[in-house]
Amino acid sequence: DKFREGLTKTRDNFTTKMNDLIANYRTVDEEFFEELEEILFQADVGFDTVMKLVEELKMEVKRQNIKDTKDIRSVISQKLVEIYQGDEKFNNDITLQEEGLTVILFVGVNGVGKTTTIGKLAHSYKQDNKKVMLAAGDTFRAGAIEQLEVWGDRVGVDVIKHAEGSDPAAVMFDAVQSAKARKADILICDTAGRLQNKVNLMKELEKVKKVIEREIPGAPHEVLLALDATTGQNAMTQAKIFKEATNVTGIVLTKLDGTAKGGIVLAIKQELGIPVKLVGLGEKMDDLQPFDAEKYVYGLFA
Ligand code: GDP
């Protein structure tokens, strides 16, 4: 199971520490909870989530009269899933239009795995017999267009591009026209990932979105923010900036296979209120998976 495999580092980390914790503290007491908090913090689970979890665990321990630490394991998983899911109804899936073109806009800083994710996602839709096209909207970074083309060739989908340094909004206009003319089902758009100047970032994303929206009312249907799971708090800071710059509809957490601190998935949702829709679990074409909180949490603790 890909999902399980990709989480090996995080799982080993969690399982070892949880096993030690349960072996060391046989009875559920204040010290046990403190140690548990520490383990969760170290896995980047996030302050709010940890506090909420421990508070609810304490209530549940009282309610069920749990004394033995080994009996608390399943309660932890159950509560973490509940906390992740929350009260609000989030759309955790990527919404595809029933008819006509679906436009997915990708945002995120350079190096987080945005291009790779676009390639993987294109591949996955192609496997579902969808007609997919890519738009090379990062006209700023040298090599970005070529890199997207490499993925386009690999996956077997067309890439709409202009010259390096050209106006990304013009690329998007072209891409949407072409996608409509060729009756594509899905257009996945890359964008430049400069964070140095928030005002410029905002302006560029606004302009790009406006062009797309003018051509297809209601589009872009998804704005996915790619974040690198291995960068911890840095990823969180990026997310806050992008959240201010544009209306992010979902997170793609890349390189989750490369970290033992996979708890960041939980922190992101709790701190930003944006669902993690996809996770990257490797560098290969089929290493992209929809995020399933239950599978994830139970995979770690069970
Ligand atoms: P971009 O600058 O955001 O477009 O980043 P790239 O797509 O070029 O990816 C940067 C590096 O991260 C490349 O070496 C990718 O192979 C690698 N990468 C991307 N996603 C994943 C992932 O989910 N897991 C691992 N292990 N590596 C990844």
This complex has an ipTM of: 0.99
CB 68 within 8 A of CB 61: no
111 lines ligand 1 (CB under 6 A): yes
Are the CB atoms for 253 and 229 separated by under 8 Å? yes
Average per-residue pLDDT for the chain? 93
Q: Is 249 in the pocket of ligand 1 (CB under 6 A)?
A: no
**Could you tell me the distance, in angstroms and rounded to a whole number, from the CA of residue 254 to the centre of ligand 1?**
7
Pairing, β 132-135 against β 186-189: parallel
Helix (H, G, I), strand (E, B) or coil at 131: coil
Of 266, 223, 228, 265, the C-alpha closest to 245 is 223
- The model's pTM is 0.94
Question: Does residue 114 have its Cβ closer than 6 Å to ligand 1?
Answer: yes
Q: Is 107 annotated as a binding residue?
A: no
Cα-to-centroid distance, 279 and ligand 1 (Å):
12
| Closest listed residue to residue 73, CA positions, set 24, 29, 28, 42 | 28
User: Which pLDDT score, from 0 to 100, does residue 302 have?
Assistant: 60
Mean pLDDT confidence for 144-157:
98
Give me the percent of the chain exceeding a pLDDT of 90. Answer: 78
Q: Cα(first)–Cα(last) distance of the chain, in Å?
A: 15
From the alpha carbon of 144, which atom of ligand 1 is closest?
4
Q: Is the pLDDT of residue 88 over 80?
A: no
Dihedral pair phi/psi, residue 202, rounded to 5°: -60, -45
Of 107, 110, 116, the one to substitute when testing ligand 1's pocket (max ligand atoms within 8 A of C-beta) is 116
79 lines ligand 1 (CB under 6 A): no
Q: How far apart are CA 190 and CA 104, in angstroms?
A: 9
